[in-house]
Structure 1
């Protein structure tokens, strides 16, 4: 996993502590590798398929933001051109622009909330299965 996701936490199966996962630990989870708990140094792994699927879905967030930016820029340019050609009034052009910007911030806020998750990490052997 190449994105630096903040807000992803893990709960250790051994010491029951919740830890903010470091980028190297996120990479270990992404490739299904065993890694050590920062507190008790015991081996952990993410095994739950539902949690793994949700973890993997975090990769698409950066692509979503880029797509949303492109959509907002396109909407702003189209509204500006339509206003320039006389198809929209200035007030209508501003309304379209504000709606596009509102949609951008609403979607980004929704996906930022989904980005914060706590993974239940299970005990694992020292070597991968």
Structure 2
């Protein structure tokens, strides 16, 4: 997940904040508990608001490439309009300056929205018998 840069987890058991690895992000996405790197207790994201924010990160993934395309197209159109004589050189400069400024502001805002710290709650481990029943039920569904 390219949009996942800057996502941290905060363990409620040991009160440590750490950068989440891609496999931990996948475990959060499919709502499966994983072990804390420090206290080795099972962690899971239980807050529905943070889970919605986490799942909404996908919409920010395409902001940067789309802004690059929009900026390049605008700069080319300003250059073409100046070449045709529809704009002066200073007009083309101002359009280019505004376009590049908007590009950097939008990309900065997208990066700000992608950074978050998830409050991970401790879950009690499931007994082996219950895990075996869950695994058998999943295998019979396939």
- Residue of structure 1 in register with 2:140 after alignment: none
CA RMSD of aligned residues (A): 1.8
Matched, 1:79 2:78: yes
- Maintained 8 Å contact 1:4/1:23: no
Q: Which residue of 2 aligns with 1:51?
A: 50
CA distance in 1, matches of 2:9, 2:49: 15
Higher helix share: 2
Query: Are residues 31 and 3 of structure 1, via their aligned partners in 2, closer, same or farther at CA, if it must alter by over 3 Å?
Result: farther
Q: CA deviation at 1:69?
A: 0.8
- What do residues 1-33 of structure 1 show as CA deviations (whole Å, max 9, x unaligned)? x22622211111211211111111111111111
Residues 73-111 of structure 1 deviation map (CA, whole Å, 9 limit, x = unaligned): 111111111111110001101111111111010111112
* Alignment: residue pair count: 128
Using the TM superposition, give the Cα deviation of residue 114 of structure 1 relative to its aligned residue in structure 2, in angstroms.
2.0
Q: How many Å apart are 1:125 and its aligned residue?
A: 3.5
Gaps of 5+ in 2: 135-142
Cα deviation per residue 1:49-70 (whole Å; 9 max; x = unaligned)? 1111111222222311111111
Equivalent positions of 1:10-25 (< 5 A) are 10-25=9-24
SS in 1 for 2:117: strand
Query: Which 5+ residue runs of structure 1 have no aligned equivalent?
Result: none
1:120 corresponds to: 119
CA distance in 2, matches of 1:126, 1:92: 65
What SS does structure 2 have at the residue aligned with 1:88?
coil
